[in-house]
Amino acid sequence: MSPPQSLGLDVEILRRLSSDRLVRVLEDAPGAKDLIIDGDLMKMLDRIAGATLLRSHGVDKMYRLERVPPPVQSSQRVYLVRPSLLQLKILADHVHSDHAAHPDLHVHVVVVPRLVSWVTGLLEEEGLYGALTLHEFCPDFIPLDDDLLSLEMTSFFRDAFLEGDFSGCVDVARAINTLQGLFGQIPYVLAHGRAAKAVVNTLDLLNNQNSPKKTSQMPEISHLFIFDRDADYVTPLLTQLTYEGALDDHFGINAGVVEFPGEVVGQDAPRKVPLNSKDTIYDNIRNKHFASVSSYLITKAKEVNAKKEQAQNMTASQMKDFVANELRTLQSCHATLALHLRACESITKSVKQDFETQLTTEHGLVTGASNAGQARKFLKNCLARMQPLTDNLRLFCLYSLTQDGLSPKDYKQLASQMLAAHGHKHLITLNNLRQLNLLCATESSASSTGVNRDSSGTNIQGRLAQVTSLLPKKGQGWRAAAKRLRLIPDPDKTIDLHNPSDPSYVFNGAYTPVMAKVVGEALSVRGAFTQTLLDSLKVLPGTTISRAAPPGSPVGPHVALVVMMGGVTYTEVAALRLLAVTSGTRIIVASTSTINGDQLVSGVVHK
Amino acid sequence: MSRAENEAYWGSTDTAPSALDNFFDEDCEVTWTGITAEFTRSPQSRHSKTTPDGNSSSTSSIVDNITVHSVSDWNYVEVKGGRSNTSSSSSQSVSGVGKVIGEKLDSWKPPSVSIKWNSSQGQGSGPCVQCAAKDTEIVQLKKRLENSYSRYNLTLPPDDTVNRILLGQPYSLESYRSLEDKLALLDTALGTMDGSAVMATILHLKKTVKKTIFITEMQARPQACNLFTNYLRKRHKYSEAIEFLGSLGKPEEAAILSYELALTGKTPEAKMKNMEKSLETHFAVPSVSFEAKMVKNHMKLLGRQLAIDEADSKDQTNPMLLKYPRAANVVDKSLLTTLFYCCMYHWEAGETHIGSPLALRKAHDLSDRELLWTALKGRARVNHWPLPSELDSWLGSKGLLGALGSLSSAFGSSGKILPKGIKATLPMEVVVHTLHSSRAPSNVLAVYIGLVDNLESRLKLAHNYKCHQAVIDVHVAQKDRSALEQYMKEIPSGSPEYLKAESALKMVKWKN
């Protein structure tokens, strides 16, 4: 399943760039220092630089940023923080409280990824501007794998789509700009959505600042796709069915590392295991449909055992050779196989008893094959049984999206049962989901006809209002969009889940992730994007920007960079990996972070 | 102008003129530092010597910042002076800054500046004694600078400033003083969508215009409103945010935010009080009538939870409380969790008791589905698995259609196929699973399995949960003697189920 690797373009270099930049920032505070790190940055820093590297640059103690300040032991302390107002307020409180006892303490603040206006504003208000030394540390994409890059900006989805703060787009643009600096200006660009537009705008601005010689470099990446998460909410809401997706849903994969509980690793304590293509067994199963993983693992395990048995009948010299060369690989193979088999077992055991009903409901809602009444009943039972909040919210949102919005009666009934099960404070959560258009209660027909009557004048404004009232309202056009983009495969066509050729295998052939569909269509045509494709994108929220290489200019090899603003699911990654194979393109997926349905929803849950 | 001349100028006054001094202080960062560089020109040490007390409170770090800022700005100003419209060189790379300064200092030509600012007062410098002429010119320029401090011709075009914010370069918004400029700036920032630039321009607008103008202009820019409201929220300036949303004409959002604020109360009592206030002031709008109802329910629930907790914490007689000590306080839990708690501890209580599950159901209009599920799970927690008949009599027959109807009739005719047309409210397969995982005894399981319509799935369930009784029931219902005899081999002989199967063999009319 692995995409063609023959094309150069080593993304590992990005890690070195980030780590060098981090070192430079640390050296800006020469000598011994204590480090206080925003919890949100821990995993990212871990992927860029280990503690040893930090220690070799004067870092003594490391603390997580919490309300209570750590003891002052060094004459310098360096705070590494996100530009979040809440965290910065804590930081400011630390500095105030430490100042009394330690007036000589020198405080550095490193804002990751950049010093935004409200950071300086807050520090100024706190009377700390000038008393602290401010730095920026702008990391590049972190390579989680050869074909998966992440900025680990886990709060981007909430910040941008809920709170209207698209400042993270600048950082994405910077990271893409680095890639363009390394691999040349990307000739074909297709961007859709608000955040995507902001990225392209900033990218243009940065391009103008680059030295002109870079633009003449032969491009090593031919296509750049940028999408917003809100172009496809259905994918993260559905239960993930690929092995990697299932691992993410059940154990949680953070920045490319999964923490298996003790029962899976066969020890008392949980163990962190990096998941990437360096592990060839994992590379073979990660994108497989969950149903075919264990049989594959068992076959492999039998092969390994057979080889070990062969060793029984070996001559002494053969044995010596075997021990020297093969035994170690066989043993590690064996360990990996056992690990994944236990992981499979653990997932199978922990899936809900009504897992099948859950899947049938989800897929029935998406394809429209089953009636909505059954789904509503299932949801009501889930609510009454107090199933986990995120599961219930996911199903509620999926129900609303696929019905193109709920009737006020339906909405009120389900919403009040949601609050009964999980607490009334989630009135705020529901409001957030409505802001995101993940939930939608259609206006009652009475009030909308009232509007029409008011505006039914002969004046142009009245007519305009009439026209706009006919247009699909926000969060209500999902079904039309799915039809237009042909996201739901023909039910008569059988989708092979075990040897897939169609990206919809990731959802049992019920649904194709938007990203995989659009990128697939775009790559199927050499050269500029077709008008048909651009027209079909109009059904998604936001506007499209498309660029093509001027005729005659070098286009370079077929390599595509697909950027998802607001988090990419492992399901989408799997679908794109399949696409890479079928289209003969190397596809590199980049995102603000990896995400699953629970993370997406819990990001906007009221705490 | 040579370096010596400049030194002579600064040397002639002990300190910089006070007006100029203030001028720098107000705006020590940005565009204007470019001008600072003109006058101070020579390195930092001179600056601090000549303007002694201006920045005395600040530490060295600020000075460092200023140095860097003035360098890059200075380049910028020069570009402007030369009327070059390409903004590409506006930011010099940081590397080689020192060299750049040196070159720029040497090649610095004030005339370019004087040309730019000469328009109003006319004549260029005459060919008199150079020194004196330059002195006069500087004084004039200085005055003009002060006068034109806010004038349009000195403000950078909005997109330049916005790009500077975006790229993390020093900037100043002080010079945008006309409303038109401020709005142009805000709209440019909104065009780039960069939160940092948008917030900076919003705060500048808010700081400098009166409220009504601010509101009117924000109203026309919903993206900015959203960002600003969330900014206030995160700064814990809730009341300001609520007021802002109110004046924007968004009572729904204001109401939700006031509820959010109410929840920040430290104690349940404070929360209730806050909610009451919020209901009065913000939830009166008809468009949030549903939400208002939910908030009222929340208050009602909290009140009940406090009463239950008060009663139970003193209660020494309730055997359930003694047998199963309370793991946690029920206050602030969800409605169904409260119901669960009540089912555990106050199952037998009459409707007048504060902790009675039935009273809770009445007060909060719970559906049968919610009630039955929670009762089943709550009772299982205290090792009690009520039979359908028990649930029936507990709930009373009135008002309970659907679930109860089916449950009671099913029990009444236990072991027989349910009459068609009556659908159980709860999916029996899931109920059986829940009961089984809460270790319900086999005879209870058998009764619930008996409620499944379809004999095939009933048999499957019975086998799955190894419920002998239920398997026997199915075979009896199917009149399948051979299957029953076959199955009896799996039951230990002499057990109650075995005996029952034996008696069934004698009683029933078999089809085979």
Q: How far is A116 from chain B (nearest CA, A)?
A: 5
| Probe site for chain B from A165, A443, A545 (most B CB atoms < 10 A) | A165
Q: How far is B212 from chain A (nearest CA, A)?
A: 23
Query: Tens of pLDDT along A135-145?
Result: 999 999 999 99
Q: For domain A12-139, which CATH number applies: 3.40.50.920, 3.90.226.10, 3.40.50.2060, 3.40.250.10?
A: 3.40.50.2060
Q: How far is B364 from chain A (nearest CA, A)?
A: 9
> What are the residue ranges of CATH 3.40.50.2060 in chain A?
12-139
Q: Do B62 and A386 touch (CB under 8 A)?
A: no
Provide the pLDDT for residue B149: 54
Asked if residues B448 and B388 have their Cβ atoms less than 8 Å apart, the reply is yes
Round to whole Å and give the CA distance between B81 and B154: 11
pTM score, two decimals?
0.81
Separation of CA A553 from chain center: 33
Q: Do B290 and A606 touch (CB under 8 A)?
A: no
> pLDDT band at residue B154, thresholds of 50, 70 and 90?
low
| Probe site for chain A from B192, B245, B258, B372 (most A CB atoms < 10 A) | B192
Residue A78 in this model has a pLDDT that exceeds 80: yes
> pLDDT band at residue B426, thresholds of 50, 70 and 90?
confident
Asked if residues A508 and A363 have their Cβ atoms less than 8 Å apart, the reply is yes
A202 reaches B (C-beta below 8 A): yes
Residue B63 in this model has a pLDDT that exceeds 60: no
Look at B293 and B93; give whichever has higher pLDDT.
Answer: B293
Percent of chain B with pLDDT over 90: 30
Interchain CB contacts (distance < 8 Å): A and B: 159
Which of A76-90, A540-554, B182-196 is predicted with the least confidence, judged by mean pLDDT? Answer: A540-554
Q: Do B226 and A164 touch (CB under 8 A)?
A: yes
Provide the pLDDT for residue B452: 83
Closest residue by Cα to residue A192 from A422, A604, A518? A518
A170 reaches B (C-beta below 8 A): yes
Provide the pLDDT for residue B212: 94
> pLDDT band at residue A312, thresholds of 50, 70 and 90?
confident
Q: Do A130 and B194 touch (CB under 8 A)?
A: no
B56 reaches A (C-beta below 8 A): no
Q: How far is B219 from chain A (nearest CA, A)?
A: 15
| Per-window interface: A 336-365 vs B, CB < 8 A | 353-354, 357
> pLDDT band at residue A267, thresholds of 50, 70 and 90?
confident
- The interface predicted TM-score (ipTM) is 0.90
Chain A CA closest to residue B255: A428
> What are the residue ranges of CATH 1.25.40.850 in chain A?
368-475
Reading the block at residue B231, the tokens are: 């900014």
CATH topology of domain A258-350: Syntaxin Binding Protein 1; Chain A, domain 2 (3.90.830)
Q: Which of B230, B291, B336 sits opposite A420 (nearest CB)?
A: B336
Q: Which of A170, A412, A422 sits opposite B194 (nearest CB)?
A: A170
Round to whole Å and give the CA distance between A546 and B502: 79
Q: Which of B88, B256, B334 sits opposite A428 (nearest CB)?
A: B256
φ/ψ (deg, to 5) at B85: -90, -5
Query: Tens of pLDDT along A475-533?
Result: 458 999 999 999 999 888 888 888 899 999 999 999 999 999 999 999 998 878 899 99
> pLDDT band at residue B395, thresholds of 50, 70 and 90?
low
CATH topology of domain A143-232+513-602: Rossmann fold (3.40.50)
> What are the residue ranges of CATH 3.40.50.1910 in chain A?
143-232+513-602
> pLDDT band at residue A470, thresholds of 50, 70 and 90?
very low
| Mean pLDDT across chain A | 88
Residue A212 in this model has a pLDDT that exceeds 90: no
B234 reaches A (C-beta below 8 A): yes
Domain with residues A368-475, CATH architecture = Alpha Horseshoe (1.25)
| Mean pLDDT across chain B | 73
| Probe site for chain A from B227, B229, B294 (most A CB atoms < 10 A) | B294
Q: Do A131 and B196 touch (CB under 8 A)?
A: no
Residue B315 in this model has a pLDDT that exceeds 90: no
**Mean pLDDT, residues B434-445 taken together:** 87
> What are the residue ranges of CATH 3.90.830.10 in chain A?
258-350
Provide the pLDDT for residue B409: 45
| Per-window interface: B 151-210 vs A, CB < 8 A | 163, 165-168, 191-197, 199-200, 203
Look at B267 and A212; give whichever has higher pLDDT.
Answer: B267
A315 reaches B (C-beta below 8 A): no
Query: Tens of pLDDT along B414-425?
Result: 433 333 222 456
Round to whole Å and give the CA distance between B461 and A385: 20
Provide the pLDDT for residue B431: 84
Round to whole Å and give the CA distance between A242 and A285: 9
**Mean pLDDT, residues B447-458 taken together:** 85
A116 reaches B (C-beta below 8 A): yes
A167 reaches B (C-beta below 8 A): yes
Residue whose tokens read 């085979």: B512
**Mean pLDDT, residues A538-563 taken together:** 86
Asked if residues B87 and B163 have their Cβ atoms less than 8 Å apart, the reply is yes
Q: Do A354 and B59 touch (CB under 8 A)?
A: no
Q: Do A354 and B430 touch (CB under 8 A)?
A: yes
* A562 strand-pairing partners: A225, A589
Provide the pLDDT for residue B396: 58
Provide the pLDDT for residue B147: 63
Closest residue by Cα to residue B179 from B208, B154, B199? B208
Q: Which of B165, B194, B366 sits opposite A198 (nearest CB)?
A: B194
Asked if residues A172 and A563 have their Cβ atoms less than 8 Å apart, the reply is yes
Closest residue by Cα to residue B50 from B20, B93, B16? B16
Contacts of B223 (CB under 8 A, 6+ apart): A164, B190, B193, B198
Look at A347 and A465; give whichever has higher pLDDT.
Answer: A347
Chain B CA closest to residue A134: B61
| Probe site for chain B from A76, A107, A170, A437 (most B CB atoms < 10 A) | A170
Provide the pLDDT for residue A11: 85
| Per-window interface: B 13-52 vs A, CB < 8 A | none
Provide the pLDDT for residue A10: 83
